Chains A and B, each alone.
Chain A
Amino acid sequence: MAQYILKRLLLLPLLLFIFSVIAFALIQAPPGDFVTSYIAELAASGSAMEKAQIDALREQYGLDRPLYIQYFKWVGKILQGDLGVSLDWRKSNLELISERLLLTLMLGGFTLVITWSIAIPIGIYSATRQYSFFDYFFTVFNYIGIATPTFMTALILMWVAFKYFGASVTGLFSPEYVDAAWSWARFVDLLKHLWLPALILALDGTARLARIMRANLLDELKKPYMEMARAKGMSEWRLILKYPVRLAFNPLVSTLGWYLPLLFSGSLIVATVLNLPTIGPLLLRALIVQDMFLAGVIILIYCLLAIVGTLLSDILLAWLDPRIRMEEA
């Protein structure tokens, strides 16, 4: 087990290196460097910069040097914990991102819990009562769930909440807690707001996962060990929960590998619609105003979250299923 995890961890630096190159290439992609757009922005607001100042800025970021040196400078700074400064917000990127990252992770984790606690019971029910009314009902529900983009769900719920309850469901905090320091009251306030975006995000994943759970369980239910256990007189529910459900879990856990990254980056769109203080809307704004260093750091964080998600699912799967760790070790 330890060997297996170690093997996965050893690949991590290589992946991180490749992803950092990709992120760097992406922030270099727009025409002109960011100092140019910064000067243009300043000029638009009526103030100008002196030539010396401009050159100093260029030198600070190594913009006059070849690309690979710029890359190493950028990565080197990030490795030292210096995430750079956002020219758009006039704040350090670290300060901008830290709380938003925490909220992004909380939203993701919360969504995951909701997704699983809805999808698994639906999957078990549909498989054990195949072709029943509710099985069909959930199948239709799942199809619609997959076909509805998350931002549509968010827009519709936002409209319903406004039209019929007169409530605005945007943001993650009540006005009095937006800039407050962390406290128990603020946390409770957060939970009061967090459930709706989490539910919206969960609907999409639930539809997919319930389908997978149903298919897995249907395969298991046909196997001879079920007959055997029934012949021994085991009660039906205990039997189902104890053997086939546990086996049907494994493929579900392996979906975490793609579901977690999808969840983090998918939350971006819902967060934009509902105006949530997560890193998603920050990235969108950074990309639109070409605040490329902030964008680069956020893209790197998304990559990191994707890697961690895959790693987590691999480790969890190896822990759940001895066959996998025997094979790989």
Chain B
Amino acid sequence: MSTAKTSPALPQVEEAVPVVALPDLGREAEAIYVAPNWKLVWWRFKKHRLALISGVIIIFIATIALVPDFYSTLPPQESDAIRSFVPPQRPRFFGPNGEFMYVYEVTGQRNPTTLMMEWVADEAKIAPIKFFTPGYEYEIFGVIETDIHLVGLDNSAGVQKFHLLGTDRLGRDQWSRLMAGTQVSLSIGLVSVLLSIILGVLLGGISGYFGGWIDMIIQRIIELLQSLPPIPIWMALTAALPRNWSVEQVYFAITIILSLIGWTTLGREVRGRFLSLREEDFVVAARLVGASQARVIFRHMVPTFSSHIIAASTLAIPVMIINETFLSFLGLGMRPPAISWGVLLHEAQNLQSIALAPWLLIPGLAVIITVLTLNILGDGLRDAADPYS
């Protein structure tokens, strides 16, 4: 986009000179003048390579969250006490009999001195891995029944199970559990941020639009909530959840608890935008023409800063994900049989377990990758959110 020569600051041109009177601008420049807001944001965002790559990774992770069973190899709750603490079976490529991808079958032997089960790869027994292959049955979105999985074993070799990321204490397949956990952890982040947006836009909007004593009260509440130490408060609140609550109840309780303090940042942001927009000409004009308050707010004011809200919420999701993870890690958040990244990491809480089975730390890698890419994506969106700057 070589606009430097032809266009001074865009909004001024639009206001001062009628578009028809503009001298022959290039095709490209013309496209910029007529482009809607979202297109300008997209053009700017595209230039941020790292953010673009992060966006692609996030979309991939989101597909895992949508249909975790497709990526799983075994039912995530299925335990097999004999196969506990099997180390990750590394996939190998181009096997002796023309297999594209295969793993070695593992066999357990009890160590005579420590009495611990030790798993050894049996290089004579090769289990070929196939793509888009039938496995256990599951439902997509609760409607489409299928048994096709991304990867699975070729059953002809007589090997029943393989564990890409090893197994835990109870012999449950960690890869499949990680996929199931992705769904819970990612959606908790998303739902808590959605609740935060609703609270933040509503209260921040009221605060910034009306001003006066309402603004005073809401601002004091925000300050008070922000001066609370969040971690102990969250812990106390989640610890108070009744033990006999179902997984769904705990899930929603946690999203509410997390957004109870989380909305304040968004609320402040929205209030600031409202305060600066309130006196803008187009808002005053809309009000003078007789538009209702709701119309002024939702038709004229909200669209102008919605890109900022999207950027701010993208940056808020990773914070929520980390918070849920540490709560479940401490045993206060999601509880088994629910599966989330925090619940998986709870298994790796002490030195004994990670010394015995270091692969139990792998879910932490999923947390780091997700949070990292969401942060980069959010930064890119924030930079692109204001296409006129």
Spell out A's residues near B (CB within 8 Å): 15, 18-19, 22, 26-27, 29-31, 143-144, 146-149, 151-152, 155-156, 158-159, 162-163, 168, 170, 258, 261, 264-266, 268-269, 272-273, 283-284, 287-288, 290, 295, 298-299, 302-303, 305-307, 310
Contacts and interface: CB of A to CB of B under 8 A. Distances in A.
B317 to A, nearest CB: 12
Contacts of A310: 227
15 contacts: A18-B224, A22-B228, A22-B233, A26-B233, A27-B236, A143-B376, A144-B372, A147-B369, A148-B371, A149-B326, A162-B351, A168-B351, A269-B329, A269-B330, A272-B330
A288 B322 contact: no
A44 B355 CA distance: 34
Contacts of A306: 227-229
Interface string B323-334: 001100111100
Contacts of B367: 147, 149, 152
Contacts of A290: 239
B120 interface: no
Nearest to A146: B375
Given A143-B376, A155-B361, A159-B354, 9 more contacts: A29-B237, A29-B240, A149-B364, A162-B351, A268-B232, A272-B330, A284-B235, A298-B232, A310-B227
Contacts of A162: 351, 354-355
B91 interface: no
A26 B232 CA distance: 10
A287 B239 contact: yes
Contacts of A264: 229
A156 B361 contact: yes
Contacts, number: 116
A159 B232 contact: no
B372 A288 contact: no
Contact of B331 (A146, A147, A170, A288): A288
A26 B229 CA distance: 13
A295 B237 CA distance: 12
B170 to A, nearest CB: 20
Given A156-B361, A170-B351, A299 B232 contact: yes
Contacts of B231: 265-266, 268-269
Given A261-B229, A273-B349, A284-B235, A147 B240 contact: no
A253 B124 CA distance: 64
Interface residues of B, number: 39
B371 A147 contact: yes
Nearest to B225: A22
Contacts of B371: 146-148
A106 to B, nearest CB: 18
B372 A159 contact: no
A151 B326 contact: yes
Interface in B293-323: 318, 322
B326 A147 contact: no
Q: Which of B224, B232, B242, B348 neighbours the largest number of chain A CB atoms within 10 Å of its CB?
A: B232
A152 B368 contact: yes
Given A149-B326, A163-B358, A268-B232, A143 B331 contact: no
A273 B371 CA distance: 21
Nearest to B367: A149
A168 B236 CA distance: 30
Contacts of A151: 326, 329, 345
A295 B236 contact: yes
Nearest to A149: B322
Contacts of B322: 149
B230 interface: yes
Contact of A30 (B239, B329, B349, B375): B239
A136 B6 CA distance: 33
Contacts of B349: 273
Contacts of A272: 330
Given A143-B376, A265-B229, A273-B349, A148 B368 contact: yes
B23 to A, nearest CB: 34
Nearest to A303: B229
Contacts of A18: 224
A162 B351 CA distance: 8
Given A26-B240, A283-B232, A149 B325 contact: yes
Nearest to B231: A265
Contacts of A152: 345, 361, 364, 367-368
A155 B348 contact: yes
Contacts of B369: 147
Nearest to B329: A151
Contacts of B239: 30, 287-288, 290, 295
Residue among B229, B329, B361, B371 with most chain A CB within 10 A: B229
Contact of A26 (B226, B237, B351, B355): B237
B333 to A, nearest CB: 12
Contacts of A266: 231
A169 to B, nearest CB: 9
A25 B313 CA distance: 30
B148 to A, nearest CB: 33
Given A18-B224, A148-B368, A152-B367, A302 B326 contact: no
Given A152-B368, A159-B354, A303 B228 contact: yes
A125 to B, nearest CB: 21
Nearest to B319: A146
Nearest to A268: B231
A64 B374 CA distance: 51
**Best-buried of B228, B233, B376 by chain A (most CB within 10 Å):** B228
Nearest to A31: B242
Contact of A15 (B227, B229, B236, B326): B227
Interface in B217-251: 224, 226-233, 235-237, 239-240, 242
B355 A163 contact: yes
B332 A287 contact: yes
Given A31-B242, A147-B372, A19 B237 contact: no
A290 B242 CA distance: 12
Interface string B84-111: 0000000000000000000000000000
Given A143-B372, A147-B371, A306-B229, A159 B355 contact: yes
Contacts of B364: 149, 152, 155-156
Contact of A158 (B228, B345, B351, B368): B351
Contacts of B235: 268, 283-284, 287
